[in-house]
Amino acid sequence: MDKLIITGGVPLAGEVAISGAKNAALPILCASLLTAEPLRVDNLPHLNDISTMLRLLAQMGVEVTLDGPAGLVLDAGGLNNPLAPYDLVKTMRASILVLGPLVARCGEARVSLPGGCAIGARPVDQHIKGLQAMGAEVTVEAGYVHAKAKRLKGARICTDMVTVTGTENLMMAAVLADGETIIENAAREPEVVDLANCLVAMGANISGAGTDVIRIRGVERLDGAAHRIMPDRIETGTYLCAAAATGGEVRLTQTSAAYLDAVVDKLMDAGCDIVTERDAIRLKAPQRLKAVSLRTAPYPAFPTDMQAQFMAINAVADGVATIRETIFENRFMHANELMRLGADIQIEGSNAIVRGVERLEGATVMATDLRASASLVIAGLVARGETTIDRIYHLDRGYERIEEKLAKLGARVRRAH
Ligand code: EPZ
């Protein structure tokens, strides 16, 4: 299994380009299922999750052809197998995003239940409840969701909690339904808006994306389109945290601070100078960061996907911070690993109390999930001596060429097999 070996103590400096957003690309790739016309997608990140999704679509009969260094054309004209098998779904929970489009286009779908993951049980009951509200017959047996509907009907759906992929799945199911669908308590994440923009370019009739009420008026069919994936705000935030923690100065390009207000605010509270340009963001870190408390919540509040990275920052900041995780029930797996590097963290239910220490010491640690791995990378960049991070396949799911980008910023990092 690959590992990353980092020698800490170097302030990151220089410029690096941010890739397309994984969590926008995944639902947009699934949107190709909704039409027999080709969908061209650009600014796709080269990530394991993206390749898994492409394998899943290809085995359904979607033709995928390369189109430039970060572009693809997806043609679901030959879609003939509305099945998402367990062996693919178990490696990537976002596979559930094929459910809505398959029922909308083919009238049925068999999708393996994604099962839980390190950060929580992550059920999909809201996805199912919404499809049933639209008239689908849904059964769950032998670990598969089986959904059928001659044609979905528009419905008013209010999800029990804000769910990002739940909102995306139901929005895609609704675009070809008969009548109007209203999704209340909808997720407002920018990736939901990026998906909606792509669907509208394909001929869908959607309003309210980015607010908590999304209205979708069903149409008879969708056309092909060309869509450029938005920048990855979580990758952006991760590199900002790495620069902040190491006392560095960086400029991140092909991105924007537009969707990162809550994260930028916290980095400024921690003492960082941040300058935003049209499609870049610059950060200059102080000598020593100030501890910042935070509470995760749905967009536009502080994103849960940045919580682990801020725990690493607070581990070496001045003062005590309280981190409250309100989205997932088990998203503090990185705390134990950070403690192996010398961090002073106390977990009390959904709160983590982090007392900044003078210095972390390099050690061998283990990645447990995608953002936890990012937190360990940040800690390794700060720790004295060498840190080895095992099981970095987690990292490769969500960070494109991470050791290359970090090395470009001066980090001493290498991948070992
Ligand atoms: C998306 O996951 C993201 N993944 C996650 O990013 C992100 O952490 C999460 O949204 C929250 O922002 C993708 O977009 C591919 P949810 P998702 O449905 O949609 C509960 C990363 O690091 N819930 O918004 O699966 C659920 O258990 C990943 O890139 C139900 O109970 O998250 C959780 O507690 C990790 N029933 C809460 O809602 C449901 O049917 C929010 O989950 C759906 C969700």
Tens of pLDDT along the chain (417 residues) come to: 899 999 999 999 999 999 999 999 999 999 999 999 999 999 999 999 999 999 999 999 999 999 999 999 999 999 999 999 999 998 888 999 999 999 999 999 999 998 767 788 778 999 999 999 999 999 999 999 999 999 999 999 999 999 999 999 999 999 999 999 999 999 999 999 999 999 999 999 999 999 999 999 999 999 999 999 999 999 999 999 999 999 999 999 999 999 999 999 999 999 999 999 999 999 999 999 999 999 999 999 999 999 999 999 999 999 999 999 999 998 999 999 999 999 999 999 999 999 999 999 999 999 999 999 999 999 999 999 999 999 999 999 999 999 999 999 999 999 998
Could you give the CA distance from residue 389 to residue 134 in angstroms, rounded to a whole number? 46
Closest ligand 1 atom to Cα of 122: 27
Could you give the CA distance from residue 296 to residue 301 in angstroms, rounded to a whole number? 7
Structure token pair of residue 404: 């290359």
Strand partners, 40: 73, 226
For atom 16 of ligand 1, the residue with the nearest CA is 163
What pLDDT, on the 0 to 100 scale, is given for residue 114?
A: 84
Closest ligand 1 atom to Cα of 328: 34
**What pTM value is reported for the model?**
0.98
Distance 165 CA to ligand 1 centre (A): 6
Residues in the chain: 417
Distance 347 CA to ligand 1 centre (A): 22
Residue among 30, 164, 172, 325 to mutate when testing ligand 1 (max atoms within 8 A of CB): 164
Q: Which residues contact 38 (CB under 8 A, 6 or more apart)?
A: 73, 74, 75, 77, 224
Closest ligand 1 atom to Cα of 96: 25
For atom 39 of ligand 1, the residue with the nearest CA is 124
pLDDT per residue as tens digits for the range 300-314: 999 999 999 999 999
The total of other beta-carbon atoms located within 10 Å of residue 344's CB is 14
Based on the residue annotation, tell me whether 241 is a catalytic residue of this protein. Answer: no
Which one-letter amino acid corresponds to residue 344?
Answer: D
C-alpha R_g of the chain: 21
Distance 43 CA to ligand 1 centre (A): 23
Residue among 162, 304, 327, 330 to mutate when testing ligand 1 (max atoms within 8 A of CB): 327
For atom 1 of ligand 1, the residue with the nearest CA is 164
Active-site annotation holder among 30, 117, 198, 272? 117
For atom 43 of ligand 1, the residue with the nearest CA is 124
Residue among 122, 170, 325, 331 to mutate when testing ligand 1 (max atoms within 8 A of CB): 122
Closest ligand 1 atom to Cα of 369: 22
With a 6 Å cutoff on the Cβ, whether 122 touches ligand 1 is yes
What pLDDT, on the 0 to 100 scale, is given for residue 120?
A: 80
